[in-house]
Every structure is written in C-alpha cells, then in structure tokens.
Amino acid sequence: MVLVVRPSFGALVAAESELGPLFALVERAAGGRLGLSEMVALFWHCLAERPAGLTREAFAEGVTAGGLAAATPVLRVLIGQILAGR
C-alpha cells in the first residue's frame, strides 16, 4: 500500500500538540535522537488520506515492518518540506 504524507498546517498543528515544538523535533531528528514512536506519530498526522479502516496501530506496525531504511528517506523529505514551507 502506498500512502502519501503531506505537512499541511492542520497536520503540523496536530503533530506539534502531540510531540511538542516542531523545531525541537527537527533537532532531535538531525541528531539521530528521534524515537520510532515520534516518527510514526509525525507520519500519521501528515497522512494526506487515511484509508478506511486503517488504525494508527496497524499503520505503526506497517512502518515497523517496512524498516527504518525505508522510513528514513520519507522522514528526511518530510522534514525538508516542513522547514521549507512546502
């Protein structure tokens, strides 16, 4: 299943409400200190469309099953978009 993440204003506000300030999150990510649960939460909030029936738990399991090697480039692009304002 291919899912699209997009850092809309609403998504970033929801992520920030759960995870704390986005600048701190970006700093943790840059320093290699972003936890898996934080990455999954950011992705979850930034999903452009959630398929019917997809739970956050199932989504987290999918990210985990895909591995960090697959998730890291997505995280890098998403953080770049957040910083660039795209």
Alpha carbon 70 to its chain's center = 13
What is the Rg, in whole angstroms, of the alpha carbon atoms belonging to the chain?
12
Return the pLDDT at 68: 87
> Is the pLDDT assigned to residue 11 strictly greater than 90?
yes
pLDDT digits (tens, 9 = 90+) for 17-69: 999 999 999 999 999 999 999 999 999 999 999 999 999 999 999 999 999 89
Task: Kindly report the pTM of this predicted structure.
Answer: 0.92
> Is the pLDDT assigned to residue 86 strictly greater than 70?
no
Q: Look-up: residue for tokens 């934080």?
A: 38
Return the pLDDT at 1: 80
pLDDT digits (tens, 9 = 90+) for 63-79: 999 998 999 999 999 99
Cα 41 to Cα 34: distance, rounded to the nearest angstrom: 11
Q: Mean per-residue pLDDT for 1-17? A: 94
Among residues 68, 69, 27, 20, the alpha carbon closest in space to that of 41 is found at 20
